[in-house]
């Protein structure tokens, strides 16, 4: 049964829509949401269709359903604010980019956090690296019950936080820590989403802050450089050297939150005609 796990914080006329990753939950965006709200932003952590339930709930949805969750939430939030920003983690980063590409009138800026076009990090097994085969497997109806189980370090360099997340995942509370594994058919949809977004990156014109772990265990940093090199928008690149994939929860979560909050504040304050300077930070 799907639980309601989204969160909302009322603030000023600057809104931020936060998007979690595949098999994840809004909880992985909560600390970031609280930091943004302390600076006055109105924040909504959206819950993607099929998430915060069991594997059957997730498998009943596709990437188009996940994107529809984002688009509908953005439309609602945009009616309450003068500036709308969107930030996503992992697959959520792809959905954020897709919204900016497809609905530019809605989006004033994008936080691209640990973008995952491919599972090519140093801790990924062969099946994850061969994800391009999964859409064919899904189309043939094979392997519906197969699951790619996550393994330590679970995208977290901080051992204390890793322990908390691992315990929550094994407890079965999918609204708190998400599912412990990724169904193959859902990974197939992620691959289809990835292809769809890559073909539309040049449509992204809203300023982007691209943040990625330099030693990402799930998605190699080349995923971040793909965004930097293809979007037709001003970009700031933040490389994090003491985190793994889950950068909203890991050791540099405060640095990330500060940088993203400042980035959105500058864009909102500068107005539509001003553009941030391309920058690389370490």
Q: Please write the tens of the pLDDT for every residue from 229-276.
A: 999 999 999 999 999 999 999 999 999 999 999 999 999 998 644 444
The confidence score (pLDDT) of residue 46 equals 98
CATH of the domain at 191: 3.40.50.1820
Cα–Cα distance for residue pair 121/150, rounded to 1 Å:
13
Within a domain: 1? no
Cβ within 8 Å of residue 43, ≥6 positions away: 7, 8, 9, 11, 15, 16, 18, 33, 36, 37
Within a domain: 215? yes
Cβ distance 91 to 193 under 8 Å? yes
The confidence score (pLDDT) of residue 140 equals 64
Within a domain: 2? no
Within a domain: 20? yes
Domain of residue 16, residue span: 7-281
Cα–Cα distance for residue pair 253/136, rounded to 1 Å:
37
Cα distances (Å, whole numbers) of residue 44 to 126, 160, 276: 36, 27, 24
Confidence class for position 127, pLDDT limits 50, 70, 90: low
């Amino acid at each position: 049964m799907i639980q309601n796990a989204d969160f909302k914080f009322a603030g000023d006329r600057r809104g931020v829509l936060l998007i979690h990753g595949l098999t994840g939950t809004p909880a992985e965006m909560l600390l970031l949401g609280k930091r943004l709200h302390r600076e006055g932003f109105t924040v909504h952590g959206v819950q993607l269709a099929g998430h915060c339930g069991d594997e059957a709930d997730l498998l009943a949805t596709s990437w188009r359903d996940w994107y529809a969750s984002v688009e509908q939430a953005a439309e609602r939030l945009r009616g309450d604010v003068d500036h709308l920003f969107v930030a996503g983690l992992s697959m959520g980063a792809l959905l954020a980019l897709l919204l900016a590409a497809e609905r530019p009138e809605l989006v004033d800026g994008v936080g691209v956090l640990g973008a995952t076009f491919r599972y090519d990090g140093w801790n990924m097994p062969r099946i994850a690296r061969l994800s391009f085969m999964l859409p064919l497997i899904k189309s043939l109806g094979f392997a519906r019950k197969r699951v790619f189980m996550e393994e330590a370090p679970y995208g977290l360099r901080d051992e204390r936080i890793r322990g908390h997340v691992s315990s929550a995942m094994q407890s079965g509370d999918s609204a708190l820590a998400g599912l412990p594994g990724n169904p193959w058919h859902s990974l197939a949809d992620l691959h289809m989403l990835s292809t769809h977004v890559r073909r539309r990156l040049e449509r992204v014109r809203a300023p982007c802050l691209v943040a990625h772990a330099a030693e990402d265990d799930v998605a190699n940093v080349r995923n971040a450089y793909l965004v930097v090199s293809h979007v037709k928008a001003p970009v700031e690149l933040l490389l994090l050297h003491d985190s793994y994939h889950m950068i909203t929860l890991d050791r540099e979560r405060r640095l990330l939150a500060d940088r993203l909050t400042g980035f959105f504040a500058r864009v909102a304050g500068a107005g539509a005609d001003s553009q941030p300077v391309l920058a690389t930070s370490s």
